[in-house]
Chains A and B, each alone.
Chain A
């Protein structure tokens, strides 16, 4: 016991000091979490860029071959809408939406080759 008292007694200068210190640390951590949350938004995630690249890929695919979009419907999160503007032109709207409420929309015109 004497041994313990000698080596393991941790003295607090005052309880008040400890409380103030804990408050400062918690405020600091609160701001840190706020900053982390604002930095790591869905727009900065790799997934956002993957989705954007995927939609861009769809544009180039539909430019090359008109019916290529029908093979992309396997992805449940991807909603592709085709609107025929006239007999030579159609507007394609691509919407990406998943369970995290992350939403991404893009529309473009492609030639409607028969």
Chain B
């Protein structure tokens, strides 16, 4: 016989149901919290990318972006210059959660110029196998053959040739500004803390750190927002790791085999020894407005993605400034030289110069190019050049995402 104690059974059932409900509520709460966290992070990340698109679409002009009504995410962005590049800092936040991003941005330039040689001396001649793809502006619309090393001459030109002006296009005034002394905090290398023990790292959201360094940089890692300065010459050894840093010194030398991403600015000269690789976006720039000689020397098998610039001399005094680029290398980007240029490596981009020269054991040939390919169309459509000229800003794009 089963005795009925209905009230007692009812309380048992209630107890069981409340335990089940309690457990359900507890797990649901945990599940919700976790999902909310992941969803919010993902939403913030997407809204941040959307904000970057918004900034690029508005040509990085600071503008209010409306608050996202569905998620309540607020976004804002600002730009600042870093060397020759522009930095876009975007921040999306809701409550205490924030997602930030930093990108190097630039505007697309559809420069189809292969060679711009100013019309101040004799016409251009070629020797060996020379290929030009893109439009050229030269002292005369005819390119003569020169016989330098007894090899057969072959010239291919895919583009229009027009007569050039007596002056190179005006360079972007930002190049000169880099060499001006800044008012930022300058510290010696020994006073700088290493946040992660083995490397020097500074986020682009922080203020730029300017550091005075010794004449040689070896066994050291610098990443991010740094300006490395020296009052004398700097020699960068191949075991140094430099990423997105700016170097400013009278003379800079990169040891053979060095690889990195740098913007190097010098007043007397820059030398790249053999097999140096400077990744995109890198800049090699010499600005010499004094009477002394200045030189950029790029030795064999070096690869530079970005720009190589030599400027500052007056137009009638270009003999004192020279740029020598040895064979078997590649310049992926533009060359601007207000002095004279010895070009033996291929260029996938544009070359602007006052004079070419080829130096052999026996003699020097002016306004001659030998065994090179200059191809302006080998830059892909998404390639953003270093802003050499202050031309009309069209569409903006991302060069690189940085931390």
Q: Verify A25–B57 contact, CB threshold 8 A.
A: no
Q: Chain A's nearest CB lies how many Å from the CB of B323? A: 36
**Docked complex Cα distance between A52 and B39 (Å):** 9
Q: Verify B70–A107 contact, CB threshold 8 A.
A: yes
Q: Chain B's nearest CB lies how many Å from the CB of A80? A: 15
**Docked complex Cα distance between A75 and B1 (Å):** 62
**Docked complex Cα distance between A107 and B67 (Å):** 11
Q: Verify B17–A39 contact, CB threshold 8 A.
A: no
Task: Return chain B residues, CB-CB under 8 Å to A110.
Answer: 50, 53
A102 at the interface (CB under 8 A from B): no
Q: Verify A32–B50 contact, CB threshold 8 A.
A: no
B291 at the interface (CB under 8 A from A): no
**Docked complex Cα distance between A106 and B13 (Å):** 45
A2 at the interface (CB under 8 A from B): no
With contacts A10-B2, A88-B56 taken as known, whether A109 is within 8 angstroms of B7 at the C-beta atoms is no
Partner of A89, one of B5, B21, B24, B53: B53
Partner of B13, one of A25, A36, A88, A112: A25
Q: Verify A108–B50 contact, CB threshold 8 A.
A: yes
Q: Which of B21-46 contact A (CB under 8 A)?
A: 21, 24-25, 28, 31-32, 35, 39, 42, 46
A interface secondary structure, majority: helix
Q: Verify B70–A106 contact, CB threshold 8 A.
A: yes
B interface secondary structure, majority: helix
Q: Verify A13–B5 contact, CB threshold 8 A.
A: yes
**Docked complex Cα distance between A49 and B105 (Å):** 34
Partner of A12, one of B6, B31, B57, B58: B6
Q: Verify A59–B21 contact, CB threshold 8 A.
A: no
Q: Verify A31–B21 contact, CB threshold 8 A.
A: yes
Q: Verify A10–B50 contact, CB threshold 8 A.
A: no
Q: Which of A65-114 contact B (CB under 8 A)?
A: 85-86, 88-90, 105-112
Partner of B1, one of A7, A17, A21: A7
Partner of B51, one of A35, A49, A105, A109: A109
B189 at the interface (CB under 8 A from A): no
Q: Verify A89–B4 contact, CB threshold 8 A.
A: no
A50 at the interface (CB under 8 A from B): no
Task: Return chain A residues, CB-CB under 8 Å to B3.
Answer: 11
Chain B residue with the shortest CB-CB distance to A17: B6
